[in-house]
Amino acid sequence: MTAHERSFHLGAFIWGVGHHGAAWRHPDTDLKGFTDFNFYKQIAEKAEAAKFDMIFFADRLAISDRYENRFDATLTFIPPVRLEPVSLLGALGAVTEKIGLAATASTSYNEPFTLARKFASLDHLTEGRIAWNIVTSTNDGEALNHNREQHFEHSERYARAKEFLEVVTSLWDSWEDDAIVLDQETPLFADPKKVHYLDHEGEWFQVRGPLNIPRPPQGHPIKIQAGSSPTGRDFAAASADVIFTAQPTLEKAQDFYQDIQQRLIKAGRPQGSLKIMPGVMPIIGSTPQEAKEKADYLEQLVDPIAGLALLSDSMNHDLSQYPLDGPLPPLTEIRGNQSRFKLVQALAEKEQLTLRDLGKRFGGTRSHRLLIGTPEEIAVNLQTWFLSEAADGFNIMPPYLPGGFTEFTDEVVPILQDLGLFRQDYHGSTLRDHLGLAKPANKFLQQKTV
Amino acid sequence: MTAHERSFHLGAFIWGVGHHGAAWRHPDTDLKGFTDFNFYKQIAEKAEAAKFDMIFFADRLAISDRYENRFDATLTFIPPVRLEPVSLLGALGAVTEKIGLAATASTSYNEPFTLARKFASLDHLTEGRIAWNIVTSTNDGEALNHNREQHFEHSERYARAKEFLEVVTSLWDSWEDDAIVLDQETPLFADPKKVHYLDHEGEWFQVRGPLNIPRPPQGHPIKIQAGSSPTGRDFAAASADVIFTAQPTLEKAQDFYQDIQQRLIKAGRPQGSLKIMPGVMPIIGSTPQEAKEKADYLEQLVDPIAGLALLSDSMNHDLSQYPLDGPLPPLTEIRGNQSRFKLVQALAEKEQLTLRDLGKRFGGTRSHRLLIGTPEEIAVNLQTWFLSEAADGFNIMPPYLPGGFTEFTDEVVPILQDLGLFRQDYHGSTLRDHLGLAKPANKFLQQKTV
């Protein structure tokens, strides 16, 4: 179906000292990583040397404490601390040259003017290498840190996110690319006809504009979205450049990929203008047996309570009230990350898991795909997914850091390059260049020419 | 009166391509400075080589457009664009090693949880070199970008600022310094008894906490305040580490210094725990005559409308409605930066200035002190202010960049060092070390021992 030329992309998706729930208990993990900048600097340099499109930082705005209504399980098992990613991007931008830098920020707990400025500023600082992972936040703990009792309901948070994004992109467009004149003699700093008020008066926001920063080098920093519900998919199809998604099997990933292509067409956008990059946690061994042993070793470090604490938080529902050796109770309606819950529910049913089993499973991978094998097996698996139109690339979720990532860059990336799948070097300088995405038109310029 | 040993401090206060209103029209100004990171990197490196305590970035959350109710005057005369300072701090932290890094952020248009995290994160990234310049925002243009018609009234914004600061410092304290255990075996990541909920329920904010980041290396990043009203002074005396202030004469600066010492005692804080650093714009020549010519040259580049546009914005009152060659009208009540307005009003009265004169004057220095002379004259003047207890140091406001700053670091700093006034090298590694300020006690620890 895809007439355009497809290209293969890689993101390094970084979460604390590793994505695996037991990362911090692994002897090869660098525990300085919770707060030490040099830890992140080394990973970014490694990702850049391997020609990754981007390095991508997740975020959370609270410490999980739904399980037993206190944070003891979290503080015991699941390190809840990490550096704030938007601050981190600026620092990493100063010590890298080519790689894209992505950070998560919530539309529920920020102001559009503030967020537009920060990402525009970072895009200037890095000369066009920034991406924003747009999340709506689904967790009551986060709400409680921001003047609310509960998080926004699903339809509310998408309505707010849509308007938020509209304001942010308008602010980015409020200076035309050539607005700055810099005539020191006349004088004329900028052409007032090329700078625009928004006068936005919406349901959620009143923002006059213009932004007090010139248009970002990429026009708009890259927009990443991870919504999986129909509303979330439509939102991504209408406005995102990259989709980050959890897809457990090739078939489900293909269905998702096709579904997004349909929605993209409906949204009037061209093929190839939205890159779908599922998450995958690779566990790499020199033999299949060694890989399996590494995975088993990590799994036995996971306490079931760690996973149940995370899952309780994700569902906004305390699972400590049910017997550990019983099944996941038949909860029909949850407030929270419903797509993730459905994945978990399907898994529990299919494999007849007890809560204890489920805690162990979720505590390790948080429902993302685990890919265990030799470098060759892993490279071929990724190639198959790409060629089967299940993915345009992958967000690599290293189980522990830095070793769990450098194994991938040192052993898997060269094979992907030999297969002719992945770039040998960067060909452009911005993240848009790496992703093969065009600079967006300026909406104020479009209004002028109409 | 001061029994404690006083020390002399220097900050580099950076605003766009220079503090002088006509900086961008000066032939020696580097115009890349509006958005180019390398411009800021060079200035920070220069300040660090000169052993400055810190480099300090101002901020505004809107483009001035009160004059004639449009932004044309601003876009013509006064470049309103610059990088967002909190993002900039992360980047500068990655390329410097010792110097403190300060950014302005508003208590009116941020959430305390978000701000606490960003500054805690930056303090970890830089291993303890961060300062927050706490402003309350006084401008309607800023309100209009953040869902409001007008900025908060004076008493409202200080009430909000006070509660905001209470929440932020409590969040910083929510992890005790030794809360993290990192026992991989047991396992135990952190001791739940050393991590604290805030359960803050105030007039402005409801924040549960704890923060999801360990206590900053400095305990609290350094807090800078610039309030000049009695309420602002009390706020600073109760909670700030550094006061930034505009003081036009030695006598007024001494009065201010003494007043703050009294308020500090009333607040129960020890002498020397709050450093007073007035702003000063040095214009340096190899002879007094050359310095004077440089100042005159800069002044003739200022268009009176530039100053009136800035002043209209600061007052939230359109001055375009009054005759240019008439006096400043006798406005008794303004909404906005009242202390600054009083300074301007006193100046206009004393020197019988027309609006045109005033525009030229305000457009150049924005009521900060201009110090014109040879390196020796400038060094001796700063020494006199310090010894006369008018200041604990200065925020140097370079008129244009980078030349207007490197003249100071290359020619004035060595004299200050020869006078035995200023450090020859850094003796510690954090900004608190440079300023000679102790790490604050943790309020949760104090509650425990009571």
pLDDT at res. B168:
98
- Going along A3-45, which residue ranges are E strands? 9-14
Give the 3-state secondary structure of residue B404. helix
Instruction: Please give the structure tokens belonging to residue B301.
Output: 């580049």
Average pLDDT, chain B: 94
- pLDDT single digits (tens) A44-98: 999 999 999 999 999 999 999 999 999 999 999 999 999 999 999 999 999 999 9
**Pairing mode, strands A130-135 and A180-183:** unpaired
Distance CA A44, CA A54 (A): 9
Residue B109 assigned ligand-binding role:
no
Distance CA B93, CA B126 (A): 5
Could you tell me the pLDDT band of residue A404, with boundaries at 50, 70 and 90? very high
Distance CA A329, CA B215 (A): 39
Write A167-170 long-range contacts (CB < 8 A, 24+). A167/A112, A167/A113, A167/A116, A167/A198, A167/A200, A167/A202, A167/A205, A167/A207, A168/A112, A168/A115, A168/A116, A168/A119, A169/A220, A169/A440, A169/A443, A170/A198, A170/A200, A170/A209, A170/A443
Average pLDDT over residues A293-311: 95
Q: For chain A, what percent of residues have pLDDT higher than 90?
A: 87
Distance CA A232, CA A59 (A): 19
- pLDDT single digits (tens) A113-139: 999 999 999 999 999 999 999 999 888
Residues of A within 8 A of B81 (CB-CB) are 175, 180, 190, 212-214
Distance CA A387, CA A379 (A): 12
Question: Does residue B273 carry a pLDDT above 60?
Answer: yes
Which residues are within 8 A (CB) of B379 and not within 5 positions of it... i.e. 6 or more apart? B412, B415, B416, B419, B421
Comparing B1-10, B257-266, B380-389, which segment has the lowest mean pLDDT?
B1-10
pLDDT at res. B366:
83
Distance CA A233, CA A256 (A): 9
Which residues are within 8 A (CB) of B433 and not within 5 positions of it... i.e. 6 or more apart? B128, B426, B427
Beta bridge partners of B195: B175
Residues of B within 8 A of A148 (CB-CB) are 206
CB contact under 8 A, B187 and A62: no
pLDDT at res. B449:
67
Distance CA A284, CA A288 (A): 8
SS (H, E, C) B110-176: CCHHHHHHHHHHHHHHCCCCEEEEEECCCCHHHHHCCCCCCCCCHHHHHHHHHHHHHHHHHHHHCEC
User: Pick the residue with more confidence: A439 or B447?
Assistant: A439
pLDDT at res. A138:
83
- Going along A212-255, which residue ranges are E strands? 222-225, 242-245
Average pLDDT, chain A: 94
Question: Does residue B315 carry a pLDDT above 90?
Answer: no
pLDDT at res. A1:
45
- Going along A107-236, which residue ranges are E strands? 130-135, 180-183, 188-190, 200-201, 206-207, 222-225
Residues of A within 8 A of B91 (CB-CB) are 90-91, 93-94, 125
pLDDT at res. A81:
95
Instruction: Please give the structure tokens belonging to residue B245.
Output: 């202030």
Distance CA B346, CA B406 (A): 33
Q: For chain B, what percent of residues have pLDDT higher than 70?
A: 99
Distance CA A316, CA A335 (A): 6
User: How many CB atoms are located within 10 Å of the residue A280 CB?
Assistant: 23
Residue that is written with structure tokens 């509209």 in the block: A166
**B202 within 8 A of B163, measured Cβ to Cβ:** yes
**Pairing mode, strands B242-245 and B275-284:** parallel
Amino acid at B209: G
- pLDDT single digits (tens) A13-53: 999 999 999 999 999 999 999 999 999 999 999 999 999 99
User: Pick the residue with more confidence: A287 or A338?
Assistant: A287
Residues of B within 8 A of A36 (CB-CB) are 124
Q: Pick from B81, B187, B208: which is nearest to A214 by CB? A: B81
Distance CA A371, CA A377 (A): 9
Question: Does residue B416 carry a pLDDT above 80?
Answer: yes
pLDDT at res. B3:
58
Distance CA A19, CA A366 (A): 9
pLDDT at res. B139:
85
* CA distances from residue A7 to A94, A243, A428, B437 in whole angstroms, order as listed: 28, 15, 14, 55
Average pLDDT over residues B154-182: 96
Full-model pTM: 0.96
Average pLDDT over residues B426-439: 97
User: How many CB atoms are located within 10 Å of the residue A25 CB?
Assistant: 26
Question: Does residue A321 carry a pLDDT above 50?
Answer: yes
Question: Could you give the ipTM of this predicted complex?
Answer: 0.96
Q: Binding-site residues of A for FMN, please?
A: 59, 104, 154, 158, 228-229
Q: Pick from B70, B146, B190: which is nearest to A113 by CB? A: B146
Could you tell me the pLDDT band of residue B1, with boundaries at 50, 70 and 90? very low
C-alpha dihedral sign at A81, A82, A83, A84:
negative
Comparing A63-72, A340-349, B6-15, B375-384, which segment has the lowest mean pLDDT?
A340-349
pLDDT at res. A449:
67
Q: Pick from A113, A118, A184: which is nearest to B145 by CB? A: A113
Question: Does residue A277 carry a pLDDT above 70?
Answer: yes
Average pLDDT over residues B308-323: 93
Could you tell me the pLDDT band of residue A281, with boundaries at 50, 70 and 90? very high
